[in-house]
Structure formats: C-alpha cells, structure tokens
Amino acid sequence: MDVEANTLFNGTMMSRRAFTKLTALGTAAALGGISNVSAYPTKFVDELVEPASAIPVDVERTVYSVCEVCPFRCGIKVTCNGGVVKTIEGNPKEPHSNGKLCARGNSAEQVIYNPDRVKYPLIRTGERGAGGWKRASWGEALDYTAGKLKEIEAKYGPESIALIQFPNLMTPLLSRFQKALGTPNFFSSLGTCKISRVVADMKTLGAHIGNAIDYKNAKYIMLFGRNTFETPANCSVQALSAAITKGAKLVYLDPRFTVTASKADEWIPIKPGTDLAFVLAMMNVIIREGLYDEEFLTKYTYGFEELKGFIGGYTPEWAEGVTGVPSEQIERIAVEFATTKPAVAHPNWHPKGYESETQISRGILILNALVGNINKPGGIFYLRGVKLGDIKPPAYPEITAKRVDGIPDKYPLVPASHGLWQLLPDAIINEDPYPVKGLIVYRSNPLHGMPNRHRVIEAFKKLDLLVAIDILPSDTAWYADVILPECTYLERYEPPMVIAGKSPKVALRQPCVEPMYESKHSFWIFKELAQRMGIGNYFDFELDDYINARLSPLGIDKDYFKDHEIWSSGISPELKGLAGMKIKTPTGKIEIYSKTLEANGFDPLPTFEPPKEAPGGMFRLLHGHIAVHTHANPATFDNAYLNEICSENELWINTDTAGVLGITNGEYVWVENELSKGKIKAKVTEQIRPDAVFMLHGFGHTSPDLKLAYGKGLNDGDFIKAGADPIGGVCPMDETFVRIYREG
C-alpha cells in the first residue's frame, strides 16, 4: 500500500491525494475501508454511492464559489480534477477575501474529505447520547422524522417544534419551513454572539452596520475588545493590517494581550466590564474641551443636548477609579481621538460579556458620532446592499402562540428572526410557557455553543424528537434521535450571497464536486420533510428556480456565475457623508438619546452599570477566539490541518496569580464553579490581567465520533449561566467566576 493510503489507514486523515489514488483503486472498497479503520461502529459502513454525472469529473476545472469553513463566507476559487478538489484560493474579485484565504478557508479539503463525515442517515437505537445508531435509508429517516414531528404537532401544537440554525445562506428556506409549520420558535446563535450589538445599531443608527469600518483610511483606530486579527473577518484583518502599515495609531483595550494587542501602539488592560466608563469619560473630555463636530451633531443627531447634561459626572477621575486606567491617559486618548482625523472606534462585534452590552455598544457608536465620522472615509459607514427577488410563498398559517424566549413581551427590542437561544433549554425543562417537544437543529451545535452544557443535555432529554442536519457528527448530533447528513459547501449550490459594503456585490456558491456518500442538499431535505408534513406546497419548486428568482432583479440567472467570478453593482464605493440619506430611527436622525429605548422603559442614554465583582478566591473567566478556529463548529476543530496547529485550549493565568496559587506552566489544573468542574492545561503568562483567567472557546467536544476534536481541552460554556441583556438580549457570558486549583 502506498504512503498516502498508510496515512489513511492510520485513520488520521484522508488526504485529497489519498482520495484520488483510492478512487483509482476502486472507490467502493476504499470507502468501506475508511469506515472500518476509522473505528466507526459497523453500522456506519457504507458502500459507494456512484456519483451522478452532472459535474464533469475528468477535466481540470476552476469554480468560483463561496467558503463555509467559517460564517464569514469568503469568495473562493477552487480547482478540481478527476472529481476531486485539488486546490483552493481566494477569489480576487470578491471583497471578503480579496483573493486571500485565512487558515480556515485553506483547510477546505479537510472538511470535504474528513473521514468523520456523517455518511448516511442514522437513527438512534439505544439511550440518548449513548452512541447507538442504526443506518437508515433516506426514505426511512425522513418518514421517521416527519412521523414524529406530526405526532408532536398533533399532541402539543406546531409551536412545540423549535428550530435552531447558524445563520447561513439557506436560512430563508429553513425559515419558510418554520412559518409553513406554524411555529414561532425559530432561533439563531446570535443570543450568544452579537444580538445586543444588532439592537444597539438599529436603535442608534437605524441599521445594523456590522463590521463596516473604513480602516484603510483611518488615522486613529480604537478597538474595545475587538480582537480583529483573531476573528473570522478576513477583509477586516487585511484592512486593519494595511492601516497599521500606513501609520494609523491603534489603541486596543482588552484584559488580555491578544494578537491584536501585540500590534497596537497602546494596549490598555482595562478592568473587565468597564469599557463604557472609559468611553463616557472620553465623551466627557471631548464635550468639556469643545472638540466635538457641532455641525454634524446638529444636522444628523438627536439628543446631543441631553448627552451634555448627562455626561458631566463621568469625569476621567471617576473613570480611573472604575477602569483602573489613569485619568491622564483617558484624557490624552480622548483628545487624540477627537483631533486626529479621521478617527474611528469599533462598536464591537461580539459583545457578549455583560447585561449592559446594548448600552456599551451604543456608547461607542455615540463616541463616533461626537467626532462626526459616520459614513465618511476612515469612519464607520452604512452598508449598501442589493435587493434580491423571491418565490412568493402561499399565505402562511397564522401563528397565535407566543415565543418561548419571551420575545416580544419580555424582550421587546430583540428581533424574533434570531431569538434568544440560550433561554430555550430552561423553557424546555420547565415547559414554560408550554412544552417544546421537537427540536430541529440545522448547521448548528447548540450542545456546545449554548452556555451551560449540563442544562442543555437535561433539556434534550425532555424532547420527544431531536433532529440534527449536519455534515459532521457534532456534540448535538451525538444526542440526536436522527442525523440527516447534509453535503458540504463544496458539493452544492446555495442561494446567492449579497456582499453588502461600499459597493455591493453578489456571489454564488456552486458545487465543485458531487456530494460524497449519501449526503444530500439541505434544500432536498427541507422539501422532502415539508411534503411529508403536508406543507409541500411551500416548496413547490427546485433550488435552481429559487436561485434564479433571487437573482432575477439583477437581470441574471445562476449560469451567469459559470463565467463570471462575481456580480458587481457598479455603485461607486465613495463615502459621501449622510446628506440625503434616510436614517431609519423614529426621529430620522442618529439617536444619541434613543426614543425607542425610552418608549420601552429602558434608559434612553448609555448609563454605566458596573460589572459584578468576583467573589473572594474566584477569578473572572473570559473566553475568546484564535484565528484558526471558529465558534463551536466542529468543521474547524475536527479538521486535520487546523487541529494540527491548535488541538487543545489552555487556561491563561497571570504569572503572579499562578505564583500565589502554586501553579506552574503546562500542568493540568482544575477549574470549578457551581455549574461544572474540569481540568485544563495552564498557560502561565504575562499576557493577561491578574484578576481574570481566559480560555479559547470551542474546545472540549463531547462527541466521540469527532475523532480529532473529542475530549481535547475544556468547554468554557460549561461554566457559563444562561441569561440575557434586557435590551438587546445577549447572554452576559463574562459574568462568570471560577475557582482555580491544583490537583489534590
């Protein structure tokens, strides 16, 4: 057997080269071989499913498509030959990548050729979570799923079926399924991500602007915990690097010395949870010194006079006591920020630390407004999009049931299109306000991504049906009753992706090779389920029709992308300020003083709320990301290339703190709080504040079928309680305290 096959038969990976050689040897035997050696239970063994011949296999082809190793979705240029993906690069015409891919995007072959992929439908046999499966045909799996869903619907009503998805290009079609089903309970993972930032943007600027920051033209950049260089935002990474190279000053606030901190001119290890105090003190200085952009504020904002009255008490001296940053430093940075043009502050992306996250983000947005740098070069800007078409669905059934997460009664400002998934487990366990008995999870891993895993398992155990639609046997899939294997992004078309920005563009995900094994397109899965559920009339079309309907307002169809790398709107990327723009807030202006917040009984101005203090002997547990991994998505953790670089997380602990606790670098230590207890390798370092500890998010996978990721590292979520910012809804995950101690 040749070398490549050896690596294959060690069960470590299936390289593309191995796959190519084995296809030459006779794929049926080879695939059987994989299943055996990778120690799958024998039920996982599959015979070859001959690919249909829609995609030419024997010629070298280049396909322009869209990445999905992480949700940033860069444009990709894939070469394939012999029905195998050969190389992958960025699409130079697509602005998320500018022709350059990060480590994740480059690891594509370890997603498609991952031997851990779910190869055919599986139905659970033993106890939930015990790992007993029987192989099912698609017909059997779909009948089983639809049958169970119908039983639940008949017994408890359609509202007792909830759906969870990671936001993706198929979201509108899953949402169509949900609305046709007549359940209000549709969730994304934003409740533990950026939901409060979305709400802050909407209520302050009238639109969510995401990462729309013109770094390249900025001369002074402030990042409040926005660790840009270790995020998925490929084009922001490139732009920030370019700005630094051009000489922009970077001021970075974070309790941890991240990669971004290491590139900053000034790193401020601010006391966790006090960023807003810093921001308010900056505003205090800017207003006191008259350094604000009066013309901009008068013309385009509402509530500056109220802010003037409000800001008086938030002096730099006050902020020094709260943040631990010397008042002179705050004062100097405020003056630099207001006098260096253009200066910009990132309103944060992943504000999931505290109950006051909406107000923290609003504070930073208002800081940008004070210097008038909105929709101008070097500032934050409004995204320009493209309106796509649709296939109009038949009228949906009326949904009378309330959502189980308290939207809108308890959380009037949180968009129901995302919901607060972190509140779902409690709703299931307490049957409050009614039983949720069926859960469909699509391209998401709530067991790992939601806080408090033990509670999530408890909730899963109360379900009558848990369906996982995924490419990998995720932790959630491991607990499912049925796993429906989707094909990977390199094997499918998807609805077009609008790349909103200064000059909007549209890209299309196109298949590079045929789906492997028995994996199927999720559109087909939704459609088949819909038919069995009696709502097939909502899916009375093929995916191609849908793609073409989406594209029709642009005057193109899907074949356009056969010989075009991208569709460009041709809109000038120039940023021309706010003149003539319609701002979608109640006052038609940028709302420093939020009318909507006021009307809903919230503070209309961003009052500072101090974070909770760590109880004696405990440390604040912070979490975050590294560039090679994303979220709780096993596609990066259970990926041979990325796992080789970072296979396990460590507990960052300050050298002095470790000294007091007698902890040495590299030893395994206990982390414990009222929710969980676990061991993790200590990284004793100078790169974190003494009062906080940190671990990378996304480790500690519990599905034994994730051969590379299983059992490596610790899951930060195990220690985090579910909760919600009353305004924007995000789970306050940095209000988590743990004890750290050595063995024995």
Partner 1 sequence: MYKFLFDIDRCINCRACEVACKQQNDVEMGVRWRRVSEIEGGKYPNPSREFLSLACFHCARPPCITACPVKAIYKRADGIVINDESRCIGCGYCSWACPFGAPTLGSDGLMQKCIACYPRIDKGLDPACVHTCLTGALAFDTPAEIAKIQGERATEKVVISP
In whole angstroms, how close is the CB of 325 to partner 1 at the nearest point? 11
In whole angstroms, how close is the CB of 707 to partner 1 at the nearest point? 13
**Residue 480 or 688 having the CB closest to partner 1:** 688
**Residue 192 or 228 having the CB closest to partner 1:** 228
Under the binding rule (CB under 8 A), the answer on residue 7 touching partner 1 is yes
DSSP for 320-332, please give it: HHHH-S-HHHHHH
Stretch that binds partner 1, among 499-507, 521-529, 654-662, 667-675 (CB under 8 A): 654-662
Stretch that binds partner 1, among 239-247, 285-293, 693-701, 722-730 (CB under 8 A): 239-247
**Residue 5 or 590 having the CB closest to partner 1:** 5
CB 93 within 8 A of CB 453: no
Under the binding rule (CB under 8 A), the answer on residue 664 touching partner 1 is no
**Residue 86 or 679 having the CB closest to partner 1:** 86
* Strands, sheet with 497-499, edge to edge from the N-terminal-most edge strand: 497-499, 505-507, 567-568
In whole angstroms, how close is the CB of 155 to partner 1 at the nearest point? 49
The residues, ordered by sequence, that sit 6+ positions from 163 with a Cβ below 8 Å of its Cβ are: 174, 177, 178, 183, 185, 186, 187, 439, 440, 441, 442
Under the binding rule (CB under 8 A), the answer on residue 106 touching partner 1 is yes
Stretch that binds partner 1, among 107-115, 292-300, 464-472, 694-702 (CB under 8 A): 107-115
Please give the radius of gyration of the chain, using alpha carbons only, rounded to the nearest integer.
26
**Residue 98 or 171 having the CB closest to partner 1:** 98
Token output for 492:
């499918």
CB 738 within 8 A of CB 671: yes
Residue numbers 588-647 binding partner 1 by CB under 8 A = 627-628, 640-642, 644-645
In whole angstroms, how close is the CB of 379 to partner 1 at the nearest point? 23
Under the binding rule (CB under 8 A), the answer on residue 490 touching partner 1 is no
Residues binding partner 1: what is the number (CB under 8 A)?
53
Q: Select from 101, 141, 487, 621 the one that contacts partner 1 (CB under 8 A).
A: 101
Could you give the string, one character per residue 35-54, with x where binding to partner 1 holds by CB under 8 A and - elsewhere? --------------------
The residues, ordered by sequence, that sit 6+ positions from 142 with a Cβ below 8 Å of its Cβ are: 121, 484, 525, 528, 529, 532
Task: Please state whether beta strands 650-654 and 677-685 pair in parallel, antiparallel, or not at all (unpaired).
Answer: parallel
In angstroms, the CA 330 to CA 339 distance is 14
**Residue 100 or 179 having the CB closest to partner 1:** 100
Under the binding rule (CB under 8 A), the answer on residue 583 touching partner 1 is no
* Other residues' Cβ atoms within 10 Å of the Cβ of residue 685: 17
CB 111 within 8 A of CB 11: no
**Residue 79 or 171 having the CB closest to partner 1:** 79
**Residue 158 or 269 having the CB closest to partner 1:** 269
Q: Select from 90, 342, 501, 604 the one that contacts partner 1 (CB under 8 A).
A: 90
In whole angstroms, how close is the CB of 419 to partner 1 at the nearest point? 33
Nearest Cα neighbor of 366 from 283, 298, 423, 434 is 283
Which residue's entry shows tokens 């940023």?
A: 575
Under the binding rule (CB under 8 A), the answer on residue 89 touching partner 1 is yes
Q: Select from 22, 575, 688, 693 the one that contacts partner 1 (CB under 8 A).
A: 688
Under the binding rule (CB under 8 A), the answer on residue 63 touching partner 1 is no
Q: Select from 168, 178, 183, 234 the one that contacts partner 1 (CB under 8 A).
A: 234
404-439: b or e for each residue (b if 16 or more CB lie within 10 Å)?
A: bbbbeeebebbbeebbbbbbbbbbbbeeeeebbbbb
In whole angstroms, how close is the CB of 133 to partner 1 at the nearest point? 28
Which residue's entry shows tokens 């490549």?
A: 4
Q: Select from 257, 292, 608, 619 the one that contacts partner 1 (CB under 8 A).
A: 257
Under the binding rule (CB under 8 A), the answer on residue 267 touching partner 1 is yes
Under the binding rule (CB under 8 A), the answer on residue 93 touching partner 1 is no
Backbone phi and psi for residue 389, each to the nearest 5 degrees, phi listed first: -85, -170
Q: Select from 22, 30, 34, 102 the one that contacts partner 1 (CB under 8 A).
A: 102
CA dihedral 405, 435, 472, 79 (to 10 degrees): -50
CB 144 within 8 A of CB 466: no
In whole angstroms, how close is the CB of 243 to partner 1 at the nearest point? 11
In whole angstroms, how close is the CB of 84 to partner 1 at the nearest point? 11
**Residue 185 or 234 having the CB closest to partner 1:** 234
In whole angstroms, how close is the CB of 111 to partner 1 at the nearest point? 11
CA dihedral 710, 712, 718, 719 (to 10 degrees): 180
Under the binding rule (CB under 8 A), the answer on residue 259 touching partner 1 is yes
Under the binding rule (CB under 8 A), the answer on residue 215 touching partner 1 is no
Q: Select from 670, 687, 739, 741 the one that contacts partner 1 (CB under 8 A).
A: 687
**Residue 163 or 243 having the CB closest to partner 1:** 243
In angstroms, the CA 214 to CA 571 distance is 17
Q: Which helix (H) or strand (E) holds 156?
A: helix 138-156
Under the binding rule (CB under 8 A), the answer on residue 238 touching partner 1 is yes
Q: Select from 179, 655, 678, 679 the one that contacts partner 1 (CB under 8 A).
A: 655
Nearest Cα neighbor of 136 from 71, 270, 46, 210 is 46
**Residue 279 or 688 having the CB closest to partner 1:** 688
In angstroms, the CA 343 to CA 362 distance is 17
Under the binding rule (CB under 8 A), the answer on residue 112 touching partner 1 is no
- In three-state form (DSSP H/G/I as H, E/B as E, the rest C), the secondary structure along 619-682 is EEEEEECCCCCCCCCHHHHCCHHHHHHCCCCEEEEEHHHHHHHCCCCCCEEEEECCCCEEEEEE
**Residue 325 or 424 having the CB closest to partner 1:** 325
In whole angstroms, how close is the CB of 543 to partner 1 at the nearest point? 29
**Residue 27 or 654 having the CB closest to partner 1:** 654
In angstroms, the CA 349 to CA 442 distance is 23
Q: Select from 199, 237, 423, 450 the one that contacts partner 1 (CB under 8 A).
A: 237
Under the binding rule (CB under 8 A), the answer on residue 107 touching partner 1 is yes
Under the binding rule (CB under 8 A), the answer on residue 271 touching partner 1 is no
Residue numbers 391-450 binding partner 1 by CB under 8 A = none
Which residue's entry shows tokens 């046997």?
A: 473
Token output for 740:
């750290």
Which residue's entry shows tokens 């294997």?
A: 485
Nearest Cα neighbor of 19 from 32, 6, 4, 37 is 4
Under the binding rule (CB under 8 A), the answer on residue 686 touching partner 1 is yes
10 Å CB burial of residue 29 (0-12, 13-18, 19+) is: exposed
**Residue 52 or 660 having the CB closest to partner 1:** 660
In whole angstroms, how close is the CB of 721 to partner 1 at the nearest point? 29
Q: Select from 23, 36, 87, 607 the one that contacts partner 1 (CB under 8 A).
A: 87
Contacts 24+ apart (CB under 8 A), 51-60: 51/83, 51/513, 51/514, 51/515, 52/514, 54/514, 55/83, 55/511, 55/512, 55/513, 55/514, 57/82, 57/83, 57/513, 57/514, 58/82, 58/83, 60/86
CB 724 within 8 A of CB 422: yes
In whole angstroms, how close is the CB of 355 to partner 1 at the nearest point? 28
Q: Select from 189, 274, 654, 702 the one that contacts partner 1 (CB under 8 A).
A: 654
CB 19 within 8 A of CB 84: yes
Token output for 641:
């290339």
Q: Which residue ranges make up the site for partner 1 (CB under 8 A)? A: 3-4, 6-7, 12-13, 15-17, 87-90, 99-109, 229, 234, 237-238, 241, 245, 247, 257, 259, 262-263, 267, 269, 627-628, 640-642, 644-645, 654-656, 685-690
